[in-house]
Chain A
Amino acid sequence: MGAAARAFEHRVARLGGGAFLFFSAIFFLLPLYVMIVTSLKPMDEIRGGHLLSLPLAPGLAAWREAWSEACTGVACEGIGGGFLNSVRIAVPSTLIAVALGALNGYALSFWRSRWTGWVFGVLLAGAFIPLQVMIYPLVRLTANLGLFGTLPGIVLVHVIFSMPVMTLLFRNYYRSLPRELFLAARIDGGGFLGIFLHLALPMSLPMIAVASILQVTGVWNDYLLGLVFAGRENLPMTVQLNNVINTTTGVRLYNVHMAATLLTSLVPLAVYFLSGRWFVRGIATGAVKG
């Protein structure tokens, strides 16, 4: 092959790659675009116009309504009220789940004994159980613990459901670290907790970032568990979102629905847009080792 032909091929490859990225980006952004333009249109325009057209008379009325006026039952206070509930659920769920995941991963990687392998196997298999199946037993469990319908109850349930993936993340990460580090710390006199707190945890900051991002968004987007376990006082934002958009026999205001959807997704979106780089970096540091 001549040099010219090779240069040509190189150019074609680059152009092809660019085109692929361009069209992929359009494909990925399309739903977001539709949501945004729809949320800015008045209802008449939505009924009459077409989905992809830009709003003729853009306005934020639907956003205002979604945040503070849309009816979610007797109260018509929008979905804003659920925001704090979601925060109160997401924060402890994330802190505890990440801490436990790190502790489990650490114990599994460096302090193995025979039974832990089996337990981890059971836990991993748990990642494949559709969570619907576990709702009824967990209702009984939390009820027996006196936690059903409380904030600690929903946090517990989130911790339970996130444990397989959290543990897997940290276990894989710690396994990619040199074992000698841990042996050195043992000889230095570090105990189980000492080594965890002083050595393992500070070293796993990238993985803590990954786990936190996954957990915050996962918990934030959860609907079913929050609905069943959180109790009336703690219903997360997604439940209110669903109240707004999924009425059975009520009237549907699509612009408000889209605005409410975007508002609900704001936190996870912000997390990804702002810390996506950490996410990539964190995963690159070790989560991917089989």
Chain B
Amino acid sequence: MRARAASFLLAAILCLAPFATRASEGRPADAPRAEVIHWWTSGGEAAAVRTLADAYRAAGGIWVDSAIAGSEQARSVAFNRMVGGNPPTAAQFNASRQFHDMAEQGMLADVDEVAQREGWERVFPAPVLEAIRVGGHFYGAPVGIHTPTWIWYSKAAFRKAGIEREPRSFDELFAALDRLRAAGLIPLAHGGQSWQDNLVFSAVLANVGGRDLYLRVLRDREAAAIASPQFRKVLLDYKRLQSYVDAGSPGRNWNDATALVISGRAGIQIMGDWAKGEFTLAHQEAGREYGCMPGIAPDAPYLIQGDVFVFPRTRDPGVQRAQRLLASVVTSPRTQLEFALRKGSVPVRSDVEVSRLDPCAREGARLVREGSRQIPSVEMLLTPDQNGALSDALTTYWNGARPVEKVQRDIAAALAE
């Protein structure tokens, strides 16, 4: 009896291979058609990317969506498809050193024409311009700016611990963390994955080390700076933060850490501005249930990390047209604002009216516009290889008992590659 059921099932599976056809959109055949690979797959991300798609359609194009979760997977698919001779029209990348290689290999098309027409040099912040310009040409269209090192805290937890105002220095931060612990709370909500360990390090380096040390270590990869006592202090403070996380931290996803802050079980989390989506989903509002700080010190550097579309080189004039249209659409003020609203990011352009953004994003936008505190994030400064090696060194330090001198040497070795 069961055997028959099984054979029926197998037969059904084997026979069920009809060729489903996809409904094509009712557009003229020569409309610009852009297939875009990106890793914005769910919730607020998907809503954000939808504004891009809508804007592209409104501009007369056809948006073909290729969402692939996970930045590494999405990037490797885009990369493999270029190698395989079947590239997408555009692909999301981080504004990073990574696509410099691709540009130098001649695999990417420049968008100088759009950049000139739209005056990118006037409206984009310097770190972004630097990241997308290779050999004098623009190879990417920035979509939005994320800052990975925001500091989020639960007002309820602060109240319970008797903390009256936002910490203004790292000493105050440690004091606040101590009080949170004394109140029986998890002081620092942290997801123990290497990219989050790395992210917290960026925050400490920027806030404790300051702009100068940050650039000397990460941009110039200066051995003396890495060996310096100042950098040593950065590392010690970094490791000290680790003593404030709970036992369940290793391997935790960032949003589960955010959930601890939302529920008031934890006090503080250092995380990118995308964390806002979690608060919003839990019906919490910035300034009411939770607070956000772009940095600890009033003049702390503000890290800039960008999402960028790159355009694989092609000879097909139709595709080139679609690429230029896309570059133009995603950098238009209106699209930038709509995207930022849903994504939780900040518009790249400094000429966007930001009053509709939430208080945290408004603060971010102000800092981007102001310019003086901007500083490139780690992946804009390091090759993926260096950044990976740095991550390995940091996560080993964070999770183990490696003496700080050795870690300084580890980091020097990681960045020397």
A-contact 0/1 string along B33-47, CB 8 Å cutoff: 001001111111111
In the complex, A83 Cα to B44 Cα: how many Å? 25
In the complex, A92 Cα to B70 Cα: how many Å? 29
Q: For A245, what are the chain B residues with a Cβ–Cβ distance below 8 Å?
A: 69
Quote the shortest CB–CB distance from B12 to chain A (angstroms): 10
In the complex, A275 Cα to B9 Cα: how many Å? 9
> If the complex has contacts A247-B41, A251-B278, are A139 and B84 also in contact, measured as CB distance less than 8 A?
yes
- Does B247 sit at the interface, judged by CB under 8 A? no
- Does B6 sit at the interface, judged by CB under 8 A? yes
In this complex, which of B3, B39, B69 has the most chain A Cβ atoms within 10 angstroms of its Cβ? Answer: B69
Q: Pick the contact of A91: B17, B20, B47, B259 (CB < 8 A).
A: B17
What is the chain B residue whose CB lies nearest that of A252?
Answer: B255
In the complex, A247 Cα to B43 Cα: how many Å? 9
- Does A197 sit at the interface, judged by CB under 8 A? no
Are A232 and B66 in touch, CB under 8 angstroms?
Answer: yes
Are A249 and B10 in touch, CB under 8 angstroms?
Answer: no
Count of chain B residues with a beta carbon within 8 Å of a chain A beta carbon = 57
Q: For A251, what are the chain B residues with a Cβ–Cβ distance below 8 Å?
A: 42-44, 255, 277-278, 281
In the complex, A91 Cα to B49 Cα: how many Å? 34
Q: Pick the contact of A70: B14, B42, B66, B256 (CB < 8 A).
A: B42
B104-130, CB < 8 A from A: none
What is the chain B residue whose CB lies nearest that of A70?
Answer: B42
Which of A8-16, A141-149, A188-196 participates in binding chain B? A141-149
- Does A136 sit at the interface, judged by CB under 8 A? yes
List the count of A-B residue pairs having beta carbons below 8 Å apart.
Answer: 148
Are B46 and A248 in touch, CB under 8 angstroms?
Answer: no
Q: Pick the contact of B40: A73, A94, A148, A244 (CB < 8 A).
A: A73
B-contact 0/1 string along A151-168, CB 8 Å cutoff: 000000000000000000
Are A278 and B6 in touch, CB under 8 angstroms?
Answer: yes
In the complex, A248 Cα to B255 Cα: how many Å? 9
What is the chain B residue whose CB lies nearest that of A267?
Answer: B13
A65-113, CB < 8 A from B: 70-76, 84, 87-88, 90-92, 94-95
Q: For B44, what are the chain A residues with a Cβ–Cβ distance below 8 Å?
A: 250-251
Which of B71-79, B170-178, B376-384, B393-401 participates in binding chain A? B71-79
Q: For B63, what are the chain A residues with a Cβ–Cβ distance below 8 Å?
A: 74
- Does B29 sit at the interface, judged by CB under 8 A? no
- Does B317 sit at the interface, judged by CB under 8 A? no
In the complex, A283 Cα to B357 Cα: how many Å? 63
Are B263 and A47 in touch, CB under 8 angstroms?
Answer: yes
- Does A35 sit at the interface, judged by CB under 8 A? no
Q: For B77, what are the chain A residues with a Cβ–Cβ distance below 8 Å?
A: 227-228
Are B41 and A136 in touch, CB under 8 angstroms?
Answer: no
B76-107, CB < 8 A from A: 76-77, 80-81, 83-86
Quote the shortest CB–CB distance from A142 to chain B (angstroms): 7
Quote the shortest CB–CB distance from A131 to chain B (angstroms): 14
Since A76-B46, A243-B67 are in contact, a sample of 17 more A-B pairs with Cβ atoms closer than 8 Å, ordered by chain A residue number, is: A84-B20, A88-B19, A90-B13, A91-B14, A139-B84, A140-B84, A148-B85, A149-B86, A227-B73, A242-B69, A244-B42, A247-B69, A250-B41, A250-B46, A251-B43, A251-B281, A277-B2
In the assembled complex, 24 residue pairs joining A and B whose CB atoms fall closer than 8 Å, in A order, are A71-B47, A72-B46, A73-B40, A73-B65, A73-B66, A74-B65, A90-B13, A136-B80, A139-B84, A143-B83, A143-B84, A143-B85, A216-B13, A227-B77, A228-B76, A233-B22, A239-B68, A242-B70, A243-B67, A244-B41, A246-B69, A247-B69, A252-B42, A275-B9
